[in-house]
A and B are shown apart, each in its own frame.
Chain A
Amino acid sequence: MIEKALKGNSNYWMWLAFLTAFIAVGAICYLRQFIYGMHLTGMGRDLSWGLYISQFTFLVGVAAGGLMLVLPYYIHNYKVFGRITILGEFLAIASIVMCLMFIMADIGQPLRGLNMIFHPTPNSMLFWDMVVLLGYLSLNVICGWVILTAERKQVKPPKWVYVFVYISIPFAVSIHTVTAMLYCGLPGRHFWLTAITAPRFLASAFAAGPALIVIACLVMKRIANFDAGKEAINKLITIIMYAAIINAFFVCLEFFVGYYSNIPGHKHSLEYLFFGLEHHGHVYNNLVPFMWTSVTFCFGALALFAYMKITKMSNDLLVGIGCLMTFIALWLDKGLGFVMGGLAVNPLDEVVEYYPTANEIGITLGIWATGFLLVTILYKIAVKVEHEVEGH
């Protein structure tokens, strides 16, 4: 089926070339980091995790978000998602590939990465994260590929593949739960030390993943003659709204716990993220504009969606804008605020701010571009197969 990705119009190739340019820059930046060392990043002794790990965390969510298509279709037999379930599975594949690339970019001795397997350590959540991520990747590759092949041959998918489909559902939950457990089991990191981290991660994942899929559907409707169907999009918007509201609710609960208990450690990160943290006469507030953008975009998108639902308005452009706003809001919340906010105050009560370097941003963009390239190719194959079946 891969040959289907090799045929496309000039726009398709232009887009791939555009992404490849970013990948090339990212590769050069990574070579620099590999040769000269991690001091080329903005990370340091106190802020020893940065952009790479925060992108990893966010993208695990995007991967898990595919569950919002798989679950209604396979468990509740919600036929409307029939055309787009494959998009969820393929997005999960690309997201996990990005996750693994971010992990490799982040570790100081990438050539020793296999030590994770040679010396398996069940008490480390990172070990379990590797297990569930590789498991979820394999499941999505198997399910996506087998089901698409069956569709192409216009036969029913073999029964055995459904076993993998059903296993993939708890796996989707597990990848984000275990990723949350990387953070929420660490003593002395107040912002992360909360049992709501995993549910909050899942909620934001179930909004961010589907939002990206809706955007992809709208783009493909315009350029690839692929219509997901109005009902499917509408249902996805409903899912996105609920998930985003639940995420916002969880964030509000964090505020309550921090400010009502009045325990400084619980308040510091929230203060740093949303209002600026005063420390020895200096106010640290680098992330404040980003976090308020996140809040504004989140509630702006919710208001927009609610208005469209109430007035029964149908407008692809507005849906697209709403989804983009949701995606950006959640990226700022989790892909930036969660990790940086948790690290702003170090274990010795010193405040440190993070400034990613150009090299680091280059690598980050390169990995994102790789993911987009992969999504483009996989979606191209999926759409071509559907066209073939429908006899376009």
Chain B
Amino acid sequence: MDKQRRTFLKLAGATALAGLSAPVVVNLNATPAMASAAAAGHGEETRQGMRLGLLIDMRKLYGRTDLLDKATEACHRVHNVPKIEGKKSEIKWIWKTAYANAFIDQSVNHASKITRESEFLVLCNHCDQPPCVRVCPTKATFVEKKTGIVAMDYHRCIGCRFCMMGCPYGARSFNWMDPQPLLKSVNPDFPARMRGVVEKCNFCGERLARGQEPACVEAVKEVGAIIFGDLNDPNSEIRKVLDREHTIQRNAALGTKPSVFYIV
């Protein structure tokens, strides 16, 4: 057994323990909770077991562009996402955009001033019915059975970019050039990519395994604007907020069943 594997297993063990004591961190070793039946209409089935999701409380982020940028920077730093100038070849996992761009299926006629002028965080929705997974010809992008995270295998991806066509949220980026020379600093805890493969937000699967919160959640901790947890666990914090507040999702009409919710 090589050293890295040992370290990983130790971490995993520690995570199991941490999960028992620290309520803010998602316990990846929990027994599957009951699936929510309310989310589905027309008798459609949603995933059973753990389904990780994220809720962005925009009320706490209005006027705080600095926090939006902080979340993006934190994510891109820990995941070795290079900063590439210009729209053409850029790579982004989580970024800010206007309401009209984030919620293209919602009317913006007579939108309130705050809706019109604010920017909203967008990222991979880790859909319950992900079109990107459906179209991938090599299973390089797949749903992690244990968590519901839509993950990527950078070593299997052939770079056909079919997933970018399939994603109705524009959440995926392609490495048009070798990203490694463009990195200012490298985080050794997460692999840097090679060119010719697609990448996107992974809900910080690697951080969860270490008992940490997703980087964006941590970055906006001071206002507690992002809540992360198991959507299928009725006792999770995220479910409690979802049960209490009115939330919206991006382009839910497409039937992808996003795992990212917004309070606007």
Contacts and interface: CB of A to CB of B under 8 A. Distances in A.
Interface string B142-164: 00000000000000111111101
Contacts of B162: 124, 126, 182
Contact of B102 (A43, A127, A186, A348): A348
B164 A48 contact: yes
Contact of A108 (B87, B122, B174): B174
A187 B87 contact: no
Interface of A: 36-39, 41, 43-46, 48-49, 103, 106-110, 112-113, 115-116, 118-119, 121, 123-127, 130, 182-183, 185-189, 346-350, 352
Nearest to A38: B176
B109 to A, nearest CB: 12
Interface stretch (B68-76, B165-173, B183-191): B165-173
A308 to B, nearest CB: 42
Contacts of B195: 37-38, 108
Interface of B is mostly: loop
A124 B91 CA distance: 25
Nearest to B169: A347
A109 B251 contact: no
B34 interface: no
A44 B89 contact: yes
A80 B243 CA distance: 73
Interface of A is mostly: loop
Given A107-B160, A115-B140, A45 B100 contact: no
B166 A186 contact: yes
A115 B89 contact: no
Contacts, number: 141
A101 to B, nearest CB: 15
B19 interface: no
A43 B176 contact: yes
Contact of B177 (A39, A46, A121, A130): A39
- Which of B91, B97, B101, B135 has the most chain A CB atoms closer than 10 A to its own CB? B135
Interface residues of B, number: 47
Interface string B113-144: 00000000010000000010011111110000
A121 B88 contact: no
B237 interface: no
B177 A37 contact: yes
Top 3 A-B pairs, shortest CB-CB distance: A108-B159, A188-B168, A108-B196
A121 B175 contact: no
A28 to B, nearest CB: 19
Contacts of A103: 160
Contacts of B161: 48-49, 106, 108
20 contacts: A37-B178, A37-B196, A38-B174, A38-B196, A39-B176, A41-B176, A48-B165, A48-B174, A108-B174, A115-B137, A118-B138, A124-B135, A124-B136, A124-B162, A125-B135, A126-B162, A186-B135, A186-B168, A187-B131, A189-B168
Contact of B176 (A44, A127, A188): A44
Contact of A109 (B135, B167, B169, B197): B197
Contacts of A112: 138, 156-159
B32 to A, nearest CB: 24
A46 B165 CA distance: 9
Given A108-B161, A187-B254, A348-B104, 5 more contacts: A103-B160, A107-B159, A108-B160, A123-B135, A188-B168
B176 A126 contact: no
Nearest to A348: B101
A183 B168 CA distance: 13
A99 B188 CA distance: 40
A41 B89 CA distance: 10
Given A48-B174, A49-B165, A187-B168, A349 B101 contact: yes
B218 interface: no
B138 A115 contact: yes
A364 to B, nearest CB: 17
A186 B175 contact: no
B212 interface: no
A70 B243 CA distance: 63
B122 to A, nearest CB: 8
B90 interface: yes
B263 to A, nearest CB: 20
